[in-house]
């Protein structure tokens, strides 16, 4: 009996202990469930934050990538634009050089044609045409050799024309055709104003002017000849004729001064005796 009661007591204790263990287990299970729920909530919050962070990171990556692409595109666009502008300028430069080269070729071809024509005039001895045509041919793009040859030929033609016209003028003076003689002398000086013959031609021109009663035209020529130290061989002639022209226009005081200059500067001239006589006459009469 006692054994049965002891066994029942043991069973009761075991039941009580089992019940306590079940309650503890249940409490532990509830606590574990609460912990699991808390962990799950934290995990969800963490995953949510990770998701937002990933989205933000992706958005930042997209923005940065787009900005990088935009900068690269702009840089490439600028590079292409600069290259295009450079090529355009180079193209314009080449076009201009080609155009200039074509123009030079055309100008040179035209110059060669004109040079050949001009040389033919020289070869034929057409001095007037050579002198008149030189102003046009020297503007062409000729070689230095051509320019030198043509310049020498023109200079020679001018000298020959000047001498020829001077001789014709002297011949006209001999037969007293003063107007024609003056025309020859004027044309000779137009061809070449400065030459060793020019002083003598101007003296002859002044003489024809005096014969034509154009003393006012003759006086400036004679004064220039008399005042120029280069014209020593014609200075006494110029002073002599200048004094007579001044007397013709009744410029008595100027004539006196001119006779005095003649006598002072050229005491041995063959005009000296007449100069003394004329000066004495002027002093008495005027």
Residue spans per domain, the chain: 65-177, 196-286
Total residues belonging to the chain: 286
> For a pLDDT cut of 70, what percent of the chain falls above it?
90
* Average pLDDT over all residues of the chain: 81
pTM beyond 0.75: the answer is no
- What residue ranges of the chain have pLDDT lower than 50? none
CA atoms 184, 225, 132, 153: torsion sign: positive
**pLDDT (tens digit, 9 = 90+) per residue, 216-271?**
999 999 998 888 876 778 888 989 999 999 999 999 999 899 999 989 988 888 88
Q: Domain spanning 196-286: which CATH class is it, in words?
A: mainly alpha
pLDDT value of residue 3: 62
pLDDT value of residue 2: 57
Structure tokens at 127: 């001095």
The answer to whether 211 and 244 are in contact (CB under 8 A) is no
- What is the Cα–Cα distance from 57 to 112, expressed in whole angstroms? 80
Buried b (16+ CB within 10 A) or exposed e, 51-72: eeeeeeeeeeeeeeeeeeeeee
Secondary structure of residue 124 in the 3-state scheme: coil
């Amino acid at each position: 009996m006692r054994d049965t009661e002891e066994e029942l007591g043991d069973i009761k204790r075991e039941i009580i202990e089992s019940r306590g263990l079940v309650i503890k287990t249940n409490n532990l299970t509830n606590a574990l469930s609460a912990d699991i729920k808390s962990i799950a909530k934290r995990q969800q919050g963490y995953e949510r934050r990770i998701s937002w962070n990933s989205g933000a990171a992706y958005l930042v990556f997209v923005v940065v990538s787009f900005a990088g692409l935009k900068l690269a595109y702009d840089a490439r666009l600028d590079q292409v634009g600069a290259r295009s502008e450079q090529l355009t300028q180079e193209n314009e430069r080449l076009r201009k050089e080609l155009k200039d080269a074509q123009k030079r070729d055309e100008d040179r071809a035209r110059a060669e044609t004109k040079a050949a024509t001009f040389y033919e005039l020289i070869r034929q001895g057409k001095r007037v045409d050579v002198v008149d045509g030189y102003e046009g041919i020297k503007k062409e793009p000729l070689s230095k050799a051509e320019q030198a040859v043509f310049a020498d030929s023109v200079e020679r033609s001018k000298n020959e024309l000047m001498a020829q016209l001077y001789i014709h003028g002297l011949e006209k003076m001999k037969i007293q055709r003063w107007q024609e003689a003056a025309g020859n002398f004027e044309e000779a000086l137009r061809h070449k104003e400065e030459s060793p013959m020019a002083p003598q031609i101007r003296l002859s021109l002044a003489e024809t002017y005096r014969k034509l009663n154009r003393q006012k035209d003759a006086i400036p020529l004679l004064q220039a000849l008399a005042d120029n130290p280069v014209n020593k061989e014609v200075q006494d002639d110029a002073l002599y004729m200048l004094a007579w022209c001044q007397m013709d226009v009744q410029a008595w005081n100027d004539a006196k001064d001119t006779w005095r200059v003649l006598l002072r500067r050229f005491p041995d001239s063959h005009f000296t005796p007449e100069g003394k006589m004329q000066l004495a006459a002027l002093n008495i009469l005027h």
